[in-house]
């Protein structure tokens, strides 16, 4: 399947490269705290799509960013994404047993270890970003920390997750669901695409174009994810399906039906691509990934 | 009790000042994500000792650091400390119902909200530190982020907590317990005392003196905490007593008995004070707090 498709090849290459960056950062210590590092490694070295790291690398290529620097930022963002999955899967949250085709961290270890592994991955992300190996310019490093913190805090990912798990108590309309998705998954996806512009000290309009691209891409991605939950094959997805309906989750698919939701995702993907008109053929992988997120089966 | 004791007055003043810095940063949003901010506020505006913020302010005074800048760093460190308490109190971890004289966050809200409130406070800490209001020098801000990340990650606080909750499975000797305490509580206490030296761009030997002070202070503090768990009055402490024995926690008090542990704490407090010989009377509050931690009843 990965044979000749350049996007799938790029995604696979991203995965390997990010893992090579993270491996020495997650050296297992001698003491009894090794358990939490084992859990961090278990979570981060599981076969994910690596969409966010890919966006960091692809946006970095637009501005001729050093690849090792881009990989460090990609690794930091993957740490934040993985922490959010570990905590979201906990019994107190979404209570998921399977993730990326394997038992979730709290199943493979225990709840306490999963909480701590998530905490440590979030912390590690900031530790990676402030190191001078990430960028020699101090202002760039500070901007990366700020962008990641704001995307993942209570105004971003954590706030979105709070809305998501309490959404059963509210009746969310279309605008409220878009806002929820933008916070829960969109903010970190936007930060990933912006990272290349920050690292490359791009012009404001270039950074705004990438923000617009990432916002539409993130929403299309989330609708596709919700469609997969309704229609997908758990064997291919590597996680349980049809959980949203059972948990009474607020999704656009539930609100507008699969047909209109699919139309919406296609429109958003096209819109995402239009935001890239500023960029030449170096943006072709970013264009391809917008097509990919709405056609993927897992 | 706070009447004329300058240390208790300073601790009380610290608490009020840090809360005034945090209040506008934790403005409650309009959307349904307000719940997680309510939980963050509930946790952070509860009556704690504010030992860590106090150490930031007292060490900052040695180097004539701007008080508003010191208060921002104190607030960031209190966010990290509070996040660690919220997560440690969860049923999956230490399962505590009472903290600072009030129901713990997962009791007042629920487990999911408590996990998210902790996550968001950790994230907020880094967001506070990178802002230029914290210090105009970018290198100082980066050093603060690095110090806090390393003190709280898997080599520091999270690693210590991992050892602590699995300690029943190991037989920890004295050296291993000291290492556990140094990671679990010592690292963040050291970071707090170092913060003033970082903000004030102090000389290396001044920073090392404060590290030595904080290391001994942290260990004395932890022994005093464990003694209180054995001998203290839950009404005064505002949390349950005699939990360590029931949970089979590895403590120096359990290992060497209350008498020898008390001697050890006194010796450590004296040693902490000796590390301050470099500094003049401006370090008097730091000296007083070393006496305070071994004499406190709550």
pLDDT at A171: 78
How far CA A179 is from CA of A182, A268, B26, in Å, comes to 5, 15, 20
Predicted confidence (pLDDT) at residue B298 exceeds the cutoff of 90: no
In a domain, B120, yes or no: yes
pLDDT at A2: 47
Predicted confidence (pLDDT) at residue B277 exceeds the cutoff of 80: yes
- What are A18-71's pLDDT values in tens digits? 999 999 999 999 999 999 999 999 999 998 889 999 999 999 999 999 999 999
In a domain, B1, yes or no: no
B138 → chain A, closest CA residue: A138
Partner B contacted by A166 (CB < 8 A): yes
Partner A contacted by B155 (CB < 8 A): yes
- Split at pLDDT 50, 70, 90, the class of A209 is very high
Residue by residue, DSSP assigns A55-116 as HHHHHHHTTT--HHHHHHHHHHHHHHHHHHHHHHHSTTTT--SEETTEE-HHHHS-HHHHHH
Q: Are strands A98-99 and A102-103 parallel, antiparallel or unpaired?
A: antiparallel
- What are B76-116's pLDDT values in tens digits? 999 999 999 999 999 999 999 999 889 999 999 999 999 99
Cα(first)–Cα(last) distance of chain B, in Å? 13
Q: d(Cα B283, Cα A286) in Å, to the nearest integer? A: 57
pLDDT at B229: 85
- What are B148-161's pLDDT values in tens digits? 999 999 999 999 99
pLDDT at A35: 97
CB B78, CB B44: distance < 8 Å: yes
Alpha helices in chain B (DSSP H): 6-25, 34-44, 51-61, 67-89, 105-108, 111-130, 138-152, 157-166, 174-181, 187-199, 204-231, 234-237, 243-246, 252-274, 284-295
ipTM of the prediction = 0.94
- Split at pLDDT 50, 70, 90, the class of B1 is very low
pLDDT at B170: 62
The boundaries of the domain holding residue B90 are: 6-295
CB B121, CB B82: distance < 8 Å: yes
pLDDT at A246: 65
Q: d(Cα B78, Cα B69) in Å, to the nearest integer? A: 14
3-state SS track over A159-197? HHHHHHHHHHHCCCCHHHHHHHHHHHHHHHHHHHHHHHH
Please enumerate in sequence order all residues whose Cβ is within 8 A of that of B281, keeping only pairs 6 or more positions apart, or say none: none
Predicted confidence (pLDDT) at residue A294 exceeds the cutoff of 80: yes
Chain centre to alpha carbon of residue B269: 17
The SS3 assignment for B133 reads coil
Residues of chain B with Cβ-Cβ distance to A139 below 8 Å are 138
Q: How many domains does chain B have?
A: 1
Partner A contacted by B131 (CB < 8 A): yes
Q: How far is A153 from chain B (nearest CA, A)?
A: 5
In a domain, A1, yes or no: no
In a domain, B157, yes or no: yes
State the CATH number of the domain containing residue B62: 1.10.600.10
pLDDT at A58: 96
């Amino acid at each position: 399947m990965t044979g000749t498709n350049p996007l799938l090849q790029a995604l696979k290459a991203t995965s390997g490269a990010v893992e090579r960056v993270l491996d020495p950062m997650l050296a297992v210590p001698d003491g009894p705290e090794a358990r939490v590092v084992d859990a961090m490694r278990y979570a981060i070295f599981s076969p994910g799509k690596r969409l966010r790291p890919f966006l960091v690398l692809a946006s970095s290529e637009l501005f001729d960013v050093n690849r090792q620097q881009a990989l460090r930022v990609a690794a930091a963002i993957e740490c934040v994404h993985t922490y959010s999955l570990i905590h979201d899967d906990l019994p107190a949250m979404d209570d998921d047993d399977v993730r990326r085709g394997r038992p979730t961290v709290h199943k493979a270890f225990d709840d306490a270890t999963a909480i701590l592994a998530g905490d440590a991955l979030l912390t590690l992300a900031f530790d990676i970003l402030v190191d001078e190996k990430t960028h020699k310019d101090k202002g760039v490093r500070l901007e990366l920390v700020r962008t990641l913190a704001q995307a993942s805090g209570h105004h971003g990912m954590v706030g979105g997750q709070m809305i998501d798990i309490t959404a059963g108590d509210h009746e969310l309309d279309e605008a409220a669901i878009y806002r929820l998705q933008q916070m829960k998954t969109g903010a970190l996806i936007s930060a990933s695409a912006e990272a290349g512009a920050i690292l490359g000290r791009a012009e404001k309009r270039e950074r705004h174009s990438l923000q617009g691209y990432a916002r539409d891409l993130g929403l299309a991605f989330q609708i596709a994810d919700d469609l997969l939950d309704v229609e997908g094959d758990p064997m291919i997805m590597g996680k349980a399906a049809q959980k949203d309906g059972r948990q009474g989750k607020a999704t656009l698919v539930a609100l507008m039906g699969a047909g209109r939701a699919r139309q919406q995702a296609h429109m958003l993907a096209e819109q995402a691509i239009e935001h890239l008109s500023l960029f030449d053929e170096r943006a072709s992988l970013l264009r391809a990934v917008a097509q990919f997120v709405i056609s993927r089966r897992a």
